[in-house]
Amino acid sequence: MTRLRRVGLALFAPVLAVLVAAVISSAVMAALQVDPVRVFQVMFDFGSTPDEQVTALVVILNRAIPLFLAGLAVAIAFRMGLFNIGVEGQYRLATIVAAAVGAAIVLPGPLHVLVIVLVAMAVGALWAGIVAVLKVTRGVSEVISSIMLNFIALGTASYLLTGPFRGSAPGASIVATKDLPESGWLPGINGVFSALGLVSPPRELYGFLPLAIIAGVAISVLLNRTRFGFDLKASGMSPSAASASGVDARAMVIKTMLLSGAIAGLIGLPDLLGKTHSYTTDFTAGLGFLGIAVALLGRNRPGGIALAALLFAFLDRSLVPLQIASYPASVVTIIQGTIVLAVVIANEIARRIARRQAERSSVLPAAAGPGAGGGGPGTGPTTPADDTDERQGAQA
């Protein structure tokens, strides 16, 4: 009963946000003389043949994997109240270095992939570590420094791509790093579809999917079941209470940012290992920023982030069909934007409802039982914590 209510409350905010976003974007479309019903029809049209439908599913899943990782990276920092806006720079830099290192070495298959993954994580962690060190030693806000470092990371990536890591022929229209040797590729896992009795589509489902799931489960366990996760959560809820309980706040900032950066380093790998095999000038950009939205919508929980990533991937997939049907693709951007705005508001509303419910439910048992502890000394049953007075009194 209470569990059901808690789940309902957890779902309430994101679902409300998505609905509000749908309504607002419909209104915007209507204002632009675009028929929203038709647009949504196009978005939900996955094609008529099983082949097309499974392909659409693969496209969504392939996009959802990096979005999930991006959301995860942001959420780890979020849990302790750190705003890692630098995920974008962290993954771009991590991907190009990993691509270059991967292309430069030859190792047996799984080991080669492992090295690339570790390099990407290390670079991402290192880049995020700069933010942490600045915050801990100089008190620089992580928001400011991570935004600044995004520019530096993107600039550095461009320099590396056109300079030392350049692998494409001079004059080629797209500048790229050298291709990874085949031992560094992560083959697709379309076998799942056959195993499920579905048509195997022409597109490959990224082999990174199981790795992303492992990462999600590992982070979930780490955050919810371990001492480290407890310290992290406590630091996020109340830095002062956490330090009084023995958490070293500075070490915690560094550890959290390193972890967040390491996960951020993985974001580019599904594409790199599964499809492009090299870092190019047109390598997928913007995943780090979308990750913030995904984390918000997923309420910083791995399960929620997975759902949010699927939703954003679904929106992303509809870009092409919309353009084919000659609808403005910016519709998707509008929906994504309004989701972010709506989710921030809805989360706050849900938080307040949860808190109020908690306050009421606690008063209940003491007061409901007539004469419970009657006459004896003790904290009377009636009102919610007296201490809230002071805050509310501040309005006066």
Interface ranges with other proteins (CB under 8 A): 2, 224-231, 233-234, 237-238, 240-241, 243-248, 354-355, 358-368, 373, 375-387, 389-390, 392-396
In the block, residue with structure tokens 């949010």: 308
Q: How far is the CB of 231 from other proteins (least distance, A)?
A: 6
Q: Nearest distance from residue 382's CB to other proteins, in Å?
A: 4
CB atoms within 10 A of CB 299: 22
The dihedral built from the CA positions of residue 316, 318, 324 and 329, taken in this order, carries a sign that is negative
In this complex, which beta carbon is closest to other proteins, that of residue 195 or of residue 394? Answer: 394
Those residues with Cβ within 8 angstroms of residue 113's Cβ, 6 or more apart along the chain or in another chain: 184, 185, 186, 273
78 neighbors 295 (Cβ within 8 angstroms): yes
Single-letter amino acid code for the residue at 121: M
Distance between the two ends of the chain, CA-based, in angstroms?
Answer: 39
Q: Taking the complex as a whole, how short is the minimal distance between the CB of residue 302 and other proteins, in angstroms?
A: 17
- Angle (nearest 5°) at CA 337 between 336 and 340: 90
Could you give phi then psi for residue 128, rounded to 5 degrees? -70, -30
CA–CA separation, 364 and 361 (whole Å):
5
Of 9 and 325, CB closest to other proteins: 9
Q: For other proteins, give the closer residue by CB, 106 or 218.
A: 218
Q: Which is nearer to other proteins, 143 or 249 (CB)?
A: 249
Closer residue to other proteins in complex, CB, 230/289: 230
What torsion, rounded to 10 degrees, do the Cα atoms 108, 114, 118, 124 define?
Answer: 110
If the CB atoms of residues 99 and 247 are measured against other proteins, the closer one turns out to be 247
Q: How far is the CB of 69 from other proteins (least distance, A)?
A: 24
How much is the CA Rg of the chain, to the nearest whole Å?
Answer: 24
**Minimum distance, C-beta of residue 214 to other proteins, in the bound complex (Å):** 18
Report the nearest approach of other proteins to the CB of residue 139 (Å).
12
Q: What's the closest the beta carbon of residue 242 comes to other proteins, in angstroms?
A: 8
- With vertex at residue 192, the alpha carbon angle to CA 191 and CA 193, rounded to the nearest 5 degrees, is 90
CB of 82 to other proteins, least distance (A): 17
Whether the CB-CB separation of 59 and 46 falls below 8 Å is answered with: no
Question: How far is it, in rounded angstroms, from Cα 145 to Cα 84?
Answer: 9
Closer to other proteins at the Cβ: 66 or 229? 229
Structure tokens belonging to residue 36? 């929203």
Name 8's bridge partners.
none
Backbone angles phi, psi at 177, to 5 degrees: -75, 170
Nearer to other proteins, 8 or 373 (CB): 373
Nearer Cβ to other proteins (49/383):
383
Helix 50-79 and helix 287-297: axis angle, to 10°? 80
Shortest approach of other proteins to residue 129 CB, angstroms? Answer: 21
